[in-house]
Structure 1
Amino acid sequence: MRTPDVFIKGLGVFLPGTVTVEEAVEKGWYPAFEAELHELAGAAVAGATPAPEMALRAAREAYERCGHRPGDTDLLLYADSWHQGPDGWQPQYHLQRHLVGDDVLAVEVRQGCNGMFGALELGAGYLRGRAAGAGGGRAATALLVAADNFGTPMMDRWTMGPGYVAGDAACAVLLTTEPSFARLLAVGSAAVSEAEQMHRGAEPLFPPGPTTGRPLDFRARNAEFKEAALADGVGTGALVRVHGRTLELVERTLAEAGIGLGDVTRVAYMNYSREIVEQRCMAALGLPLEKSTWEFGRTVGHLGAGDQVVSLDHLLRTGELGPGDHLLMLGVGPGVTLSCAVVRILRSAPWCS
Structure 2
Amino acid sequence: MSAKLGEPVDTGTAIAEGRYSTEEAARARQRAARVSDRPAPDLAADAGRLALSRAGRDPGEIGLLVHAGCFHQGVSFWNTASYVQRKVLGHGEVMAFELRQMSNGGMAALELAAIHLSAVPTVPAALLTTADRFAEPRFPRWSADRGLVFGDGGTAMVLSRDPGRLRLVSTATYSEPSLEGLHRGDDLHEPPADPGAPLDLRARKQVFLKDLPVTETIARNEAGMLTAVKRCLEDSGSDITGMAAVVVPFFGADLAHKQCIDPLGIPEEVTLLDYGLGIGHLGPGDQFAGLDHLIETGRVRAGDRVLLVGVGAGFVWTCAVVEVTHD
- The bucket for the TM-score relative to the shorter chain is over 0.9
Q: Per-residue deviation at 1:263? A: 1.3
CA contact (8 A) 2:64 2:95 kept: yes
Instruction: Give secondary structure in 2 for the equivalent of 1:227.
Output: coil
2:294 match: 315
**CA distance, structure 1, for counterparts of residue 149 and residue 303 of structure 2:** 33
Instruction: Give secondary structure in 2 for the equivalent of 1:33.
Output: helix
2:232 match: 253
Q: 1:171 to 1:260 in 2, by over 3 A?
A: same
**CA distance, structure 1, for counterparts of residue 117 and residue 149 of structure 2:** 35
2:167 match: 183
2:256 match: 277
2:9 equivalent to 1:19: yes
2:219 equivalent to 1:217: no
2:131 equivalent to 1:142: no
The 5-angstrom pairing of residues 223-262 of structure 1 reads 223-230=206-213, 236-262=215-241
Paired residue for 1:50, among 39, 42, 49? Answer: 39
Instruction: Give secondary structure in 2 for the equivalent of 1:86.
Output: coil
Q: Aligned AA for 2:126?
A: A
Q: 1:161 to 1:257 in 2, by over 3 A?
A: same
2:59 equivalent to 1:70: yes
Post-superposition Cα deviations, 1:273-326, rounded to whole Å, max 9, x if no partner, equal 112222321221221111111000010000010011101111111111111111
Q: Per-residue deviation at 1:236? A: 4.6
1:327 match: 306
**CA distance, structure 1, for counterparts of residue 256 and residue 65 of structure 2:** 31
Paired residue for 1:171, among 133, 138, 155? Answer: 155
Q: Per-residue deviation at 1:152? A: 4.0
Aligned pairs, number: 326
Q: Per-residue deviation at 1:26? A: 1.4
Instruction: Give secondary structure in 2 for the equivalent of 1:99.
Output: helix
**CA distance, structure 2, for counterparts of residue 259 and residue 150 of structure 1:** 36
**CA distance, structure 2, for counterparts of residue 301 and residue 241 of structure 1:** 25
CA contact (8 A) 2:62 2:127 kept: yes
Runs of at least 5 residues in structure 1 that lack an aligned partner in the other structure: 1-10, 349-353
Q: Per-residue deviation at 1:211? A: 7.1
Paired residue for 1:109, among 99, 117, 125? Answer: 99
2:112 equivalent to 1:122: yes
Q: Per-residue deviation at 1:24? A: 0.9
TM-score under structure 1 length normalisation: 0.89
**CA distance, structure 2, for counterparts of residue 44 and residue 286 of structure 1:** 29
Runs of at least 5 residues in structure 2 that lack an aligned partner in the other structure: none
**RMSD in angstroms over aligned alpha carbons?**
1.6
2:282 equivalent to 1:298: no
Instruction: Give secondary structure in 2 for the equivalent of 1:172.
Output: strand
CA contact (8 A) 2:55 2:158 kept: no
Q: Aligned AA for 1:141?
A: A
Instruction: Give secondary structure in 2 for the equivalent of 1:338.
Output: strand
